[in-house]
Amino acid sequence: MKKIDLHIHTVATVSDRDFVFSIDTLKGYVQQCELDAIAVTNHNVFDVTQFRHIQDEIPTVVFPGIEINVGNGHLLLISDDNDIADFDSRCHRISSVIIQATNSVSVAELGSIFGDLSGYILIPHYEKGPPIRGQDLMDLLPYVCAGEVDSAKKFVRAIRDPSKLCPVLFSDSRMRTGLDVFSTRQPSKRPSWCGVATTVVMSSSASLRHSTSDSATVAGPSSRPGKQWQWISVNFSHLYFFRWSFSASIMLPFTESIISHAEKITPLAIQPRVLLRWLEHSAHLQITASSLVGDFGQEVQRAA
């Protein structure tokens, strides 16, 4: 079981109500919720000094990220930590353009600043305001890993609908001074953000589940206090959730990835050569007769 939260705020920007960041609050959140990985995703800002401090202080995987105003919506863009200086310089370009909460960049400008978007995890606000929709979403789709939703109800509804992006549900919390009560999201209730941080429980490994036929399984309440969702087995019907470089950081030992019915995974259908990178990381590809039909099938066959 892996628990991750890839939407955490640590800097008050023009898009936030004022707050004072507390490293002790973030530590308490990670420890109490037993998180295996987090991402720091502030609005149109990346504070490299603060990020390095967080990495030094937090005993879990911490990814650098940024929440960017793209078109009329918000996009989480998360990187690995192989070249923090380069990521920082690209984020500075975003900060120089988006000075007010009403400013934004286009998808084309995003690509110009960050280069090859396939090197990042991209998660747009999907069924959460302000969402990325229309042509902007279509242009981002080849690089999108999942769509962020803002409630358990929307999560369950989306995971059951094969026409939708695979949903993820993160806290979007401000790690502020005085925030010392943490709880997981309750499936039947829309959370109040007043003084409550939340977490999402993901599958055994964020890169393992790729089945397209089954809906997500939400377990019953845990017997442990404060754990309303013991686990969520997410069948990632539309994505390769953690990319190769990220998955190695939080992969469970003694596990192997199997990509099932790859022809039904939208990002792979658009970029079939992504499969080669999976195979380089010892993933297995389930191939059926239907997998080998059409142009995509030929790509799968060559990759295999």
Place of tokens 């310089």: 89
- pLDDT computed for residue 273 by the predictor: 67
Q: For each of the domains in the chain, give its residue range(s) and CATH number, in order of start.
A: 2-254 (3.20.20), 256-304 (no CATH)
- pLDDT computed for residue 9 by the predictor: 97
- pLDDT computed for residue 269 by the predictor: 66
**131-144 tens-digit pLDDT:** 999 999 999 998 98
Contact (Cβ atoms closer than 8 angstroms) between residue 28 and residue 180 = yes
- pLDDT computed for residue 133 by the predictor: 95
pLDDT of 254 above 90: no
Contact (Cβ atoms closer than 8 angstroms) between residue 183 and residue 198 = yes
- pLDDT computed for residue 124 by the predictor: 97
Q: Which residue has the higher pLDDT, 289 or 210?
A: 289
**55-79 tens-digit pLDDT:** 999 999 999 999 999 999 999 999 9
**77-100 tens-digit pLDDT:** 999 888 999 999 999 999 999 999
CB proximity list for 91: less than 8 A, separation 6 or greater:
45, 46, 66
Residue in 236, 263, 14 with CA at minimum distance from that of residue 123: 236
Average pLDDT over residues 200-207: 30
**159-202 tens-digit pLDDT:** 888 788 888 889 999 999 988 656 444 333 333 222 223 333 33
What's the predicted TM-score (pTM) here? 0.69
Q: What percent of the chain has pLDDT over 90?
A: 44
pLDDT of 117 above 60: yes
- pLDDT computed for residue 164 by the predictor: 87
Q: Which residue has the higher pLDDT, 156 or 126?
A: 126
What is the three-class DSSP state of 4? strand
Distance CA 126, CA 169 (A): 11
Kindly state the DSSP code that residue 9 receives in the 8-state scheme. Answer: E
Average pLDDT over residues 245-273: 58
